[in-house]
Each structure stands twice: as structure tokens, then as C-alpha cells.
């Protein structure tokens, strides 16, 4: 009713000013909310377990700063948002970590069918607990790395989220990391029916996985991949984009923000030791 009154009686300029004021107020509330959460999360001692809340969810946290970044990127920036074409979309979550992305998908699409992959033995119990304590249905968890081949492979973990298979470990990064042997599965084995959304954050293994599944990628409608540029590793961004193009996907590339991804802040510079991340959103054209 108020919108109808405003539309009928207020000049267009006044309506624009009101909308701008409301939007600015919303932005300030978000900024203050994130500032408070950041202070709280960064005050948690390294290695300490803690609990947090995301909307109506309770979350067991293995690292305060990591949780803050995940919450900001996933729930505030909505980096994994997509428009489903059915009420029960099938979502593959490769690199589920503690499950914040799964909570987001279930918040947006309560009937979503999810398969979450997480190989890290130090993190998987947090993922299990966050799915169980929030009583999420329709979620299958796979304790394995998504890779270009099956089998047991060496894996290095920092216990937070910077874990990866040994072959994708950045130069000089093994110090202080725990070494495990983990099972690996191929993405192509899960592309046997239409997939509404693929989320992939698998720490530099993305190109090998996509290449191994190239002939089945058309089963996916939309996806968001995280590309990792790390010292000493092959540069595969151009190969990923070419592969997506060849398989009938249109794409765009995003660099998060400078808080999550400090190396993208101008003035730009690349050195042998530069780390940065990019998001690749892709949508099948047909």
C-alpha cells in the first residue's frame, strides 16, 4: 500500500532519493554486521573450536577468520547463488570444507539434493556435525577428494581450508602441514544425470578434473569454479576457459574482493611468489 501511495503521489526524483536512502541504510547495516562478526571471529584463538550462527543454523567452527571469510563470500556476497529451474535442484559441492556452502544452498532451496565432497580428515568431522546438528535432509557426504583419477593419493592439510593434494601443493608450502593419504573420486562418475549447479573449490585440481569430465560437462547447467594461482604450479586458467567454451558454456571471471583476495588490489603486480584466486561462473548456453 505504501509503495502504491508513493508511486501515485511522490515525484520520480523523490522516489529515487528514498530508494537510494533505503539501499544505503541496508549497506551500512551489512557493513556493521560484518565488522562485528570479524572482530568476534578474529578473537578466537588459533586451533580453538567455537560455535557460530548463520541465520537459523548453528555452525561448529574450526577457524574463526576462515569462517568469517566463508560467511561474507557465501551468505553476504552470494558467490554461489543461482536460479534453479526446479524446486529440488541437484547440486554437487566439491570442496565442502565445514559445510557453509551447503547451509547456503539449503537455505535458498530447502528441497535441494546435495552431494558434498571433502577429503580432509581434520575438517570432515566438522562438516558431518554441521549437517547433522542442523538436521539437513537430502545431503550425501563423500569423504574423498575430487580428482582427475581414482585411487589413494597424498594430501596435505592445514586443518582450516588451505588443504590440497600433494601434486598441487604450492612451492615451499608443506611446512607445518599434516600429511595424509586420502581416497579420490572422479567428477565424471557423478555426471550421469542433469546437474543444476556445480560448485568447485578443490585447490588447483580444477583443470584436471574438468578435462577428465569434458565429455560429460554438458550435464551441468551452471557452475562456479575457484581458480588458484599459486607459486610453482602450472597456469591453467586459459585451458579452463577454452574447455568451457568448447563444451558450450558462456562464462565470466570475478576476483572476489580485496579483503578475501588481497593480491588483486591495484596497483597490480605479479611476482614468482604471488597467490591469488579467481571465481569462474559458467552457464550452459543450450
Q: Which domains does the chain have, with CATH numbers?
A: 75-284 (3.40.50.150)
Residue 120 φ/ψ region, left for φ over 0, alpha for ψ in the -120 to 50 degree band, beta for the rest: beta
The predicted pLDDT at position 9 comes to 62
The predicted pLDDT at position 50 comes to 86
The model's pLDDT over 85-128, given as tens digits with 9 standing for 90+, comes to 999 999 999 999 999 999 999 999 999 999 999 999 999 999 99
Give the pTM: 0.90
The predicted pLDDT at position 75 comes to 96
The model's pLDDT over 123-151, given as tens digits with 9 standing for 90+, comes to 999 999 999 999 999 999 999 999 999 99
The predicted pLDDT at position 160 comes to 83
Whole-number average pLDDT of the chain: 92
The predicted pLDDT at position 186 comes to 98
Nearest in space to 122 (alpha carbons), one of 180, 170, 64, 174? 180
Mean pLDDT by 10 residues, the chain (286 residues): 59 70 77 93 82 90 93 96 97 97 98 98 96 97 97 93 90 87 98 98 96 98 96 94 98 93 90 92 95
Amino acid at each position: 500500500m505504501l509503495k502504491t501511495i508513493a508511486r501515485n503521489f511522490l515525484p520520480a526524483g523523490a522516489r529515487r532519493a528514498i530508494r537510494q536512502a533505503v539501499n544505503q541504510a541496508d549497506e551500512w547495516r551489512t557493513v556493521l554486521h560484518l565488522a562485528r562478526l570479524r572482530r568476534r571471529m578474529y578473537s578466537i584463538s588459533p586451533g580453538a573450536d567455537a560455535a557460530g550462527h548463520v541465520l537459523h543454523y548453528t555452525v561448529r567452527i574450526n577457524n574463526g577468520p576462515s569462517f568469517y571469510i566463508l560467511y561474507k563470500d557465501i551468505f553476504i556476497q552470494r558467490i554461489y547463488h543461482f536460479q534453479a529451474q526446479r524446486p529440488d535442484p541437484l547440486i554437487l559441492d566439491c570442496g565442502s570444507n565445514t559445510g557453509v556452502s551447503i547451509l547456503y544452498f539449503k537455505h535458498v532451496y530447502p528441497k535441494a539434493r546435495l552431494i558434498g565432497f571433502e577429503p580432509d580428515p581434520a575438517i570432515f568431522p566438522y562438516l558431518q556435525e554441521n549437517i547433522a546438528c542442523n538436521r539437513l535432509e537430502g545431503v550425501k557426504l563423500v569423504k574423498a577428494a575430487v580428482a582427475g583419477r581414482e585411487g589413494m593419493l597424498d594430501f596435505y592439510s592445514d586443518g582450516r581450508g588451505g588443504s590440497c593434494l600433494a601434486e598441487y601443493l604450492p612451492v615451499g608450502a608443506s611446512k607445518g602441514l599434516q600429511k595424509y593419504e586420502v581416497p579420490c573420486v572422479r567428477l565424471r562418475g557423478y555426471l550421469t544425470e542433469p546437474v543444476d549447479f556445480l560448485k568447485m573449490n578443490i585447490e588447483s585440481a580444477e583443470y584436471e578434473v574438468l578435462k577428465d569430465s569434458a565429455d560429460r560437462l554438458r550435464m551441468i547447467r551452471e557452475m562456479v569454479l575457484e581458480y588458484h594461482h599459486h607459486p610453482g604450479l602450472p597456469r591453467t586458467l586459459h585451458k579452463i576457459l577454452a574447455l568451457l567454451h568448447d563444451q558450450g558454456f558462456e562464462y565470466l571471471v570475478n576476483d572476489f574482493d580485496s579483503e578475501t583476495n588481497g593480491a588483486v588490489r591495484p596497483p597490480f603486480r605479479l611476482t614468482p611468489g604471488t597467490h591469488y584466486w579467481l571465481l569462474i561462473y559458467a552457464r550452459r548456453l543450450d
